[in-house]
Structure 1
Amino acid sequence: MLSKEELLEKIREINSRIDEVQRQIDETTSEINNKRTLLEEIRKELAEVRSHIEGARGRLQKTRELISSLVERKSQIINQIRSLRSELLNMNITMQKYREKLVIYRNLLSTINEYVGGKTLEKDKLKRIIEQLEYFFETSPTNPEWERQFIKYISEIEKELNLADSMEKIKAHIAELKSQIDEFKSKREAIRSEIARLVQDLNTVKQELAQLKASRQEVYKELAKLKERREELKKRREEIKSEILQLALKRKELREKRRALQEELEKYNVLLKALELAERNKARARAREERVESLKERAEVLYNRLLNGERLTHDEIKILIEAGYLPEE
C-alpha cells in the first residue's frame, strides 16, 4: 500500500509524463499541419506544372502542324522547281536543235551567196526579165543556134530565180528560227526567274522549318523539364503523404499513451481519494475517541461531585447522561 506522499509523487510524475506526451502530441499535430500545408502547396504546383505541360503539348501540336504544312509546301516547291528545270532542259535541247538548224541554213545561204558571187538576186526583177525574154523568144524569128543560146540564157536566169527563191525561203526559215529562239529565250528567262523566285521561297520555307524545328526542340526540352518536375513533385507528394501517415500513427500512439497515463492517473487519484477518505475517517474516529475519553474524564469528575451532594447544571447532567453515568430521561 502506497503512502499519500508516494501517491502524490506518482500523480506528479504521471502529470509530468502526460504534459510531455501532450507536448509531443501538439508538436506532432503542428508538424502534421505543416506537412499538410506543404502537401497542398505541392498539389497546387503539380496542377500548375500539369497545366504548363498541356500548354506545351498544345504548342508542340501546333508546331508539328506548321512543320507538316511547310514540309508539304517545300515538297511542292521542289516539284515545281524540278518540273521547271526539266522544262528548261527540254527548251535548251530544242533551242540547241534550232541553233544547229540555223547554222545549217546560214551555211547554205552563205554557199548560195558565194555561188552567185555575192550579188543581190532580185526575185521580182528576175521574173520580169524571164517574162520579157519568153515574150521576145515567142515573137522573134526562128534561129536554132540563137534559140539554144536564148534557152540557155533563160535557164540561167531561171536558175538564179530558183536560187533567189531558195534564198528567200532560207532567210524566212532563218528569221523563223531566230524568232523561235528569241521566244524560247524569253520563256527561258521567265522560267529562270520563276525558278529563282521558287528557290527564294524554298530558302524561306527552309528557314521557317529550321526555326520551327528549333522551337519544337525547345518545347521538347521544356516538356522534359516539366515532366521531370512533375515526377519530382509526385514523388515528394507521396513522401509527404507517407510522412503524414507516419506522424498520424505516432500521434495515435501518443494519444493511446496519454489515455493510458490518464487511466493510470485516475487510478492513483482514486487511491489518493480513498486514502484521504480513510485518513479523514480515522481522524474523525480518533477525534471521537478523544472526545469520548475527555467526556468520560469530565463525567467522572462531575459524577464524583454529584455523589458528594453538589448540585449540577443542566449541561453537566447531559454530560453524565451522554457518558452513561445517568439514565436518559
Structure 2
Amino acid sequence: MPILNEEELENKIKELSGEVLKVRNEIGEKEKERESLRNELNKTREELSAVINQLNNKRTELGSIKEEINKLRKSRDDAVNTLKQLKNRRVELLQRIKELMDKVRKYRELLKMINDLIGGKPVDKDKLKELIDKLEFEHEISPTDPEREWEFFRTIQQLEKELNAAEVLSRIKEYISNSSQEIEKIRKERTEIVQQMRDLYSNALANIKMQLEELKKKRESIVNEIIQLKSKRDSLKARRDELKVKILSRSAEIKELRARLKELNDELNKYQLLLAAARKSKNLVVKKQEEAKMKEEMKKKAEEGLQKLMKGERVSLNDLLGLELDEDNEK
C-alpha cells in the first residue's frame, strides 16, 4: 500500500466513516424489515391456527350431520319397510274380505234356495222338535192302524225334513253372521292400517324428509365453508412459507452487511491508527526542527559572545554556556 499523507488519510477515514454509516443504516433498515416480517409471520401463524381450528370444528360438525343423516335414512327405511308391511297386510285383508263376501253371497243364495223349498215360511226348530216328540208319543200309545201309520210316517218325514231345513238354515245364518262379523272386524283393521299408513307417511316420513332436506342444505353449506377455509388455509400456508423465505433472506443480507461493517471498521481503525502515527511522526519532525533552530540560535549567540570576549568585552555566562552546550551536543 502506498504511503499516504495526513490529508489523504483524513479523506480516506471520512470516506470509510461514510460507508460505515451507510452500512449501519442499511442494517437498521434490514432489521426493521425483518422485524416487520416476523410480526407479520406471527400474525399469519395466528390466523392460520384460527383457520385450522375452524376447519376442524366444521369437520366435526359435518361428521355429526352425516351421522344424523344416516340415522334419519335408517328411520326412513324402517318407515318404508313398515309401510310395505302394512300395505301387504292391507292387501291380504282385502283379499280375505273378498273371500268372505263371496262365501256370504253363496250362503245367502243357499239360504234363499232352502227358503224357497220350505215355502218361505219361518220355521221354529224347538216347536218342530216338540211336535215330533208329541206325535211319536201319541203314535206309541195309539192303537195300530195301517192307514194312520202311513200318515204318521209321512207327517214325521215332513216334519223332520222341515227340522233339518231349519237346522241348515240356522247354521247358514250362523255362518253368514260369523262371516259378516269377521268382515266387519277385518274392515275395521284395514281402516286402522290405512290410517296408520297415512299417519306414517304424512307425519313420520314427511318429517324425516323435511329434516333430511334441512340437514342436506346444512351439509352443503358446511362443505362450502370447508372448501373456503381450506383455500384460506392454503393461502396462509403459502404466505407463511413466503415470509419465512423473506426473513431468511433478510437475515442473510444482515449477516453480509455486518461482515461488511466489520471489514469497514477494521479498515477504518487501520487508517485511524495510520493517521495517529502520521500526526505523531509529524509532531516529532516539527519538534526536532524547532530544537535544531533553537540550538542554531544559541550557537550563534555563543559565538558572538566568544568574539566579544576575545575583544575584551563583557560577555554573559549564558552566552558562553550556549557555545559549550553546542560543543557538548557535537561531542
Structure 2 CA distance for aligned equivalents of residues 42 and 255 of structure 1: 29
RMSD: 2.4
1:122, 1:98 → 2: CA distance? 28
CA contact (8 A) 1:70 1:205 kept: yes
CA contact (8 A) 1:22 1:258 kept: yes
Q: Which residue among 14, 23, 41 is the counterpart of 1:21?
A: 23
Instruction: Please state whether the residue corresponding to 1:192 is helix, strand or coil.
Output: helix
Q: Note the residue ranges of structure 2 that are not aligned, 5 or more in a row.
A: none
2: CA distance between counterparts of 1:298 and 1:178?
174
In the alignment, what sits opposite 1:154? 156
Q: Distance in 2 between matches of 1:43 and 1:144?
A: 131
Match of 2:32 among 30, 33, 49: 30
Contact 1:320 1:326 survives alignment (8 Å): no
Q: 1:48 aligns with which of 37, 47, 50?
A: 50
Question: Contact between 2:6 and 2:278, CA under 8 Å: does it hold in 1?
Answer: yes
Task: Give the deviation of 1:7 after TM superposition.
Answer: 1.9
User: Amino acid of the residue matched to residue 236 of structure 1?
Assistant: R
Q: Partners of 1:327 and 1:28 in 2: how far apart?
A: 67
| Alignment match, 2:312 | 309
Distance in 1, matches of 2:317 and 2:118, equals 198
1:296 partnered with 2:299: yes
Partner of residue 104, structure 1: 106
Is 1:321–1:327's contact at 8 Å kept on the other side of the alignment? Answer: no
8 Å Cα contact 1:299-1:325 kept in structure 2: no
Equivalences for residues 133-172 of structure 1 within 5 A: 133-172=135-174
Q: What residue number does 1:6 align with?
A: 8
2:182, 2:328 → 1: CA distance? 172
Aligned to 2:64: 62
SS of structure 2 residue aligned to 1:324: helix
Of 243, 254, 259 in structure 2, the residue corresponding to residue 256 of structure 1 is 259
How far did 1:150 drift?
A: 4.1
Aligned letter for 2:212? L
Note the C-alpha offset of 1:97.
Answer: 0.8
Alpha-carbon shift at residue 27 of structure 1 (Å): 0.3
1:99 CA displacement: 1.1
Change (3 A) 1:157 1:55: same
TM-score by length of 1: 0.90
User: 1:207 corresponds to which letter in structure 2?
Assistant: M
Equivalent of residue 189 in structure 2, options 163, 187, 190 = 187
Q: Structure 1 stretch 29-38 or stretch 282-291: which is displaced more?
A: 282-291
Question: Which residue is equivalent to 1:220?
Answer: 223
Sort the Cα spacing of 1:327 and 1:306 in 2 relative to 1 into closer, same or farther, 3 A: farther
Q: Between Structure 1 and Structure 2, how many residues are aligned?
A: 328
d(CA) in 2 for partners of 1:36 and 1:229?
20
2:123 to 96, 121, 124: 121
| Residue 139 (structure 1) shift | 4.2
> Is the CA contact 2:306–2:315 (under 8 Å) kept in the aligned structure 1?
no
Structure 1 distance, partners of 2:235, 2:315, is 104
Moved more, 285-294 or 96-105: 285-294
Q: CA deviation at 1:142?
A: 4.5
Q: How big is the shift at 1:228?
A: 1.9
Q: 2:73 aligns with which of 59, 71, 74?
A: 71
